[in-house]
Amino acid sequence: MPKTYEPIATTTLGSAAATVTFSTIPGTYTDLVLIGNFSLNVNNSSLFVRLNSDTGSNYSYTRLSGNGTTATSGRDSNQTQARITADATAQNSGTRQMFVLQFMNYSNANTNKTFLSRYSSVGGTEVFVDLWRNTSAITSIDVKGFDATAIIESGSTFTLYGIKAA
Amino acid sequence: MLLIPGIIGSAAPQVGDFESIATVTVGAGGSSEINFTSIPSTYQHLQIRILSRDNRAATVNSVFYRLNADTGSNYAYHILAGDGSNASAAAATSTAFTYGMLQTSASTTSNIFTVGIIDILDYANTNKNTTVRTLQGYDANGSGGIRFNSGLWMNTAAVNAVRLYPDGAASFVQYTHAALYGIKG
């Protein structure tokens, strides 16, 4: 059988950046997996994604979080970007953090896009299920901070994989 | 692939063997179950990646699964859940199935599906009972749920079949998609 879990692109920031963009994503896979190991320049901030450059209020999420003391759950609706890290856990600027983002059937044009993010840092662990209310195939992913003040620091790495079903 | 200024492209990393075994795509008529059968024992682990919804007249429904067509009370499970307001936990023992997913149903906003990843670790080992883990969830812009589940099948046989089915005699709807992968050791 052929290998079906393939790297599509990897980026390592040579200098701080507001956004990391994966564009022209081929529709030839079944699922996408995006893995990030990163730090931000501000305390207690988060990473978000935008899909296909959509800046409309078309994103929402539900999360489950543990900070070492309590387990909590929360959500946001009608957002202009999808949160994938750190809603209920704390960390300082420069702290290494990581996430694994799973997009199922990202190229089908019949369903809204639901995706999972597993996030970890020294402050705790969280899992997010995000919704993008759009049935378009995902062709680009922007990974960004909450706003212009949250910058992704140099040395952060992001790798996009494709998984191809038979 | 566009790389924005300030980003250095680098060589792609090596990845292990992750092979597609079988895929089920539900058509317009729906399907009451998803079956993976005759699963070869040549892998170290199995993973099922699923996008699903069913037609039960409810906002959400449960999906259960059974291994090797065992209908006995030989399963148990634990659930860690978040519903957007509270975190909770639940468990059951000596059940006739293990818990799979909380799944969107007919009353959920149209075209919103549940996603899940089911890992069956060391599935071909005949010296251990089989433990399964699931990460799954859905969000419907104002409602939703996310869950970590662990399931136990109290049987040491190698897993050669997995059946997933919605509760309440419901059916998976069109565009439900489940793919079984094998991971080499």
For the segment A94-123, what is each residue's pLDDT rounded down to a tens digit? 999 999 999 999 999 999 999 999 999 999
Q: Where are the beta strands (DSSP E) in A26-81?
A: 31-38, 47-51, 59-66, 71-79
Structural domain that includes position B149:
18-183
Name the B residues in 120-159 with CB < 8 Å from any A CB: 135-142, 144-148
For the segment A81-92, what is each residue's pLDDT rounded down to a tens digit? 999 999 999 999
Q: What is the mean pLDDT of residues A39-62?
A: 97
Identify the band that residue B17 occupies on the pLDDT scale cut at 50, 70 and 90: confident
* CATH code of domain A5-163: 2.60.120
Which residues does A124 contact at the CB level (< 8 Å), separation at least 6? Answer: A65, A66, A67, A68, A88, A89, A90
Kindly report the nearest CA distance between residue A131 and chain B, in angstroms.
6
The pLDDT assigned to A166 comes to: 82
| CATH code for the domain of B37 | 2.60.120
Place of tokens 């059951």: B92
For the segment B139-168, what is each residue's pLDDT rounded down to a tens digit? 999 999 999 999 999 999 999 999 999 999
The pLDDT assigned to B113 comes to: 98
From A66-75, A92-101, A126-135, B13-22, the region with the lowest mean pLDDT: B13-22
Contact with chain A for residue B28, Cβ under 8 A:
no
Domain count, chain B: 1
Residue B8 domain-assigned?
A: no
**Nearest residue on chain A to B13, judged by CA atoms?**
A7
Whether residues A22 and B1 touch (CB distance < 8 A) is answered with yes
Do B15 and A6 touch, CB atoms closer than 8 A? Answer: yes
**Nearest residue on chain A to B89, judged by CA atoms?**
A71
Whether residues B142 and A77 touch (CB distance < 8 A) is answered with yes
Task: Tell whether the model's pLDDT for residue A27 goes beyond 80.
Answer: yes
Kindly report the nearest CA distance between residue A17 and chain B, in angstroms.
7
